[in-house]
A = this chain, B = another copy of it.
Amino acid sequence: MSQSGSTLSITDIQAVSPALGRYAQEDVLGDLWRRPQMSPRDRSIVTVSVLIARNQGFDLKHYMNVALDSGVSPAELSEIITHLAFYSGWSNAMSAVAAAKEVFAERGIKADQLPPASPELLPLNEEVERQRATGVEKNVGPISPGLVTFTTDPLFLDLWQRPALAPRDRSLVTVSSLIASGQSAQITYHLNRAMNNGLTAEEAGELIAQTAFYAGWPNAFSASAVVGEVLRNRPK
């Protein structure tokens, strides 16, 4: 990562706000990214997801490079963008594709490092999928049959089963994007899914701290209330 947490140099930041330069070095780089409660790899997944979800191109290439330097593979980055096409909108993904294309070119990443369009999918957990489909059919079926159809396929029978991004990481991307865009109402389902997929309570808490810096304190506080409710309601 740069010495500033941004495409901007620390000198550029100081030319407008010496204080922001200090916060960048002391709090963001010196503290947040070094906390042991979440790995730098996971922090980079969260941060890239937040930036794509909020359509913030300014530092996106910078943090895609941070991710690739922190153990995220090109195939995983490709899947993160693909996943967020559905969770944060088609045009957010297109902007991210344009940024990633440049990053891949600069690093010499070739097509053979990317996941195929139609790989063999992960085995489906039929019971989890049955519950999900039943709930959506009941709640959304009478209102938008089209949304029910597309949610089943391509979303849950295809995208979520693609093997190049682990289900736990896919959930991490999803929850990060929900927090980043203030969509508290959708956090409950996906945080439970994330924890069923292996995300720990400590990681969930630290995810909130990471999003505070990159999506703003208000989104983190709003998420905290919902995350607390999920944690209290999970079977011990």
Contact = CB atoms under 8 A, between A and B. Distances in A.
Interface of A: 5-8, 12-23, 26-28, 31-32, 35, 37, 50-51, 53-56, 58-59, 78-79, 81-82, 85-95, 97-98, 100-101, 104, 111, 114-118, 139-140, 142-147, 149-151, 154-155, 159, 162, 177-178, 181-183, 185-186, 204-206, 208-209, 212-222, 224-225, 227-228, 231
A7 to B, nearest CB: 7
B146 A16 contact: no
A206 B146 CA distance: 6
B58 A118 contact: no
A196 B100 CA distance: 45
6 contacts: A12-B98, A31-B150, A90-B213, A139-B225, A140-B221, A178-B218
Given A6-B91, A19-B82, 6 more contacts: A16-B101, A17-B79, A20-B97, A32-B150, A139-B224, A151-B217
A232 B95 CA distance: 38
Given A16-B104, A146-B35, A217 B81 contact: no
A216 B87 CA distance: 5
A216 B182 CA distance: 13
Contact of A146 (B98, B116, B117, B208): B208
A159 B26 CA distance: 13
B17 A82 contact: yes
Contact of A218 (B115, B186, B218, B227): B186
A159 B19 CA distance: 9
Contacts of A231: 142-143
Contacts of A214: 89-91
B19 A162 contact: yes
Contacts of A51: 91
A18 to B, nearest CB: 4
